Amino acid sequence: MRKLALAALLLLAITAGAVDTGQRFDDPAEQARYERLIRDLRCLVCRSESIADSNAPLAADLRREVESLMRDGKTDAEIHAFMTERYGDFVLLRPPVAPRTWLLWAAPALFLAGGLIVVIVVVRRRALAARSDPASLDDGPDVP
Amino acid sequence: MKLSLRFLVPAILFAALAAVLAIGLRHDPNRLPSALIGKPAPSFSLESLGDPAWKVGSSDLAGQTWVLNVWGTWCPPCREEHPTLVAIASENRVPMMGLNWRDDRTLAMRWLAQLGNPYVSVAYDPEGRTAIDWGVTGAPETFLIDANGIVVRKYVGPMTMDIWQKEFVPLLPAGGAGR
């Protein structure tokens, strides 16, 4: 129980890390949208942080820019386009799914498939070897 | 056969991994490709650093090749590159405009008075809006814009004579018809 409480506290600490906690919009839905947008944009000074988490001056400028674009009635896609036109795809913490990023997005599945193939081949080979001649298993711990 | 394959496969995998990592080591992660290269220079019209009543803009130097240098007095590498900028300006090959980024007018004017002024004009951008339009991530940054208003080169970091000669001079119009 105590461990669970500690874990919950630690999780809280992670969410409390954001630098920009200011209320920018009266409408809770708009405020949530603002917070989601700045969480998806990379701070180009600190690289691994979003502009929500960074207190670099450029991140502050970009947060102000997101706010003013939202007040101008721009959609999420238009705001993302505004940023990528200026800073490239790198500014998006979630890379877009496009032909040039297919390999990137498919990589986890490809690695998993590759691992599965290796496992299947090894298991099959061992099963075959065990059936024909148990003595040929030179690396298994199973032969007494 | 069985034995050789068992050693060959990990060896090939290792070689492939080593090759990928070797390529990764040669990449400078701080060098980002600019989204602006080959595109029209973003337009701006800002107060002049020296005179708020005077406007400085991207159209001032339209029709000729020009340089935009982003700087601020808070930026140590800008101080490092400043003598190089002064030397480049003294060659009179190409006009250089300054974009004073997130700075203080008084400090910036003092800087130019003390270290020399390589700029034909300096646009004052205390809020950094124009810098965002140019995709600036950190000063100093130096852009080269051709006579058609297209951004043809960008260099992030302190300018040196070596980089200027290698990466910028070949793109200047022949004969130094700068101004």
> pLDDT digits over B58-73, tens only?
999 999 999 999 999 9
Q: How far apart are CA A136 and CA B65, in angstroms?
A: 76
Residue A33 counted as domain residue: yes
pLDDT score recorded for residue A7: 65
> What is the separation, in whole angstroms, between the first and last Cα of chain B?
74
Looking at residue A137, its pLDDT comes to: 54
Task: Report the distance separating Cα B98 and Cα B66, nearest Å.
Answer: 11
Q: Does residue B137 carry a pLDDT above 50?
A: yes
Could you give the percent of chain B with pLDDT greater than 70?
Answer: 93
- Interface residue A46 vs chain B (CB under 8 A): no
- Smallest Cβ distance to A87: which of B127, B129, B135? B135
Task: Note whether residue A144 is domain-resident.
Answer: no
Cβ separation of B134 and A58 shorter than 8 Å? no
A91 and A128 assigned to the same domain: no
**Domains of chain B: which residue ranges?**
35-172
Token readout for B150 is 């297209």
CB A113 within 8 A of CB A107: no
- Residue A111 and residue A65 share a domain: no
- CATH, residue A13: 1.10.8.640
Same structural domain, A16 and A81: yes
Q: End-to-end alpha-carbon separation of chain A, Å?
A: 46
- The answer to whether residue A11 sits within a structural domain is yes
- Asked if A129 contacts A137 with a C-beta cutoff of 8 angstroms, the reply is yes
- Decide if A126 is inside a domain: yes
> Across the beta sheet with B141-145, what order do the strands follow?
B121-125, B96-101, B66-71, B141-145, B151-156
Phi, psi of B41 (to 5 degrees): -65, 130
Residue A16 lies in a domain: yes
Q: Which two tokens stand for residue B96?
A: 């250089």
Do A82 and A41 have their domain in common? yes
Count of domains observed in chain A: 2
B106 — pLDDT class (breaks 50, 70, 90):
very high
Say yes or no: A42 and A90 in one domain: yes
Given a cut of 50, whether residue B177 has pLDDT beyond it is no
Q: Report residue A26 CA to chain centroid gap.
A: 29
Please give the Cα distance from B70 to B54 (Å, whole number): 19
> Residue A93's closest CA among A50, A45, A33, A36?
A50
| Residues A12 and A74 both lie in one domain | yes
Average pLDDT over residues B23-50: 85
Q: In Å, how far are B68, B73, B110 from B107, measured between CA atoms? A: 20, 7, 5
More confident residue, A76 or B6: A76
A65 touches chain B (CB under 8 A): yes
pLDDT at B155 over 50: yes
Q: Which residues of B touch A85 (CB under 8 A)?
A: 35
pLDDT at A141 over 60: no
pLDDT given for residue B178 in this prediction: 43
Mean pLDDT of A28-54: 90
Provide the 3-class DSSP secondary structure of residue A88.
Answer: coil
Q: Between chains, do A88 and B35 touch, taking CB under 8 Å as contact?
A: yes
Q: What are phi and psi of A94, to 5 degrees?
A: -105, 105
Q: Is residue A142 in a domain?
A: no
pLDDT value at A108 more than 60 = yes
Give me the mean pLDDT over the B91-95 stretch.
94
For residue A143, pLDDT beyond 70: no
On whether both A60 and A130 belong to a single domain, the answer is no
CB of A62 less than 8 A from some CB of B: yes
Q: Who among A47, A65, A85 is closest to B35 (CB)?
A: A85
Residues A26 and A65 in one domain: yes
Using a CB–CB cutoff of 8 Å, tell me whether A57 touches chain B.
yes
Does A104 lie in the same domain as A92? no
Same domain, yes or no, for A86 and A116? no
Residue A67 is assigned to a structural domain of this protein: yes
**Helix (H/G/I), strand (E/B), else coil: B144:** strand
Domain around A117: 100-136
Phi and psi, residue B156, nearest 5°: -100, 130
Tell me the ipTM for this assembly.
Answer: 0.79
Region of residue B38 (phi > 0: left; psi between -120 and 50: alpha; otherwise: beta): left
Domain B35-172 has CATH 2.60.120.460: no
Residues A74 and A129 in one domain: no
Residues A83 and A121 in one domain: no
Give the whole-number percent of chain B exceeding pLDDT 90. Answer: 80
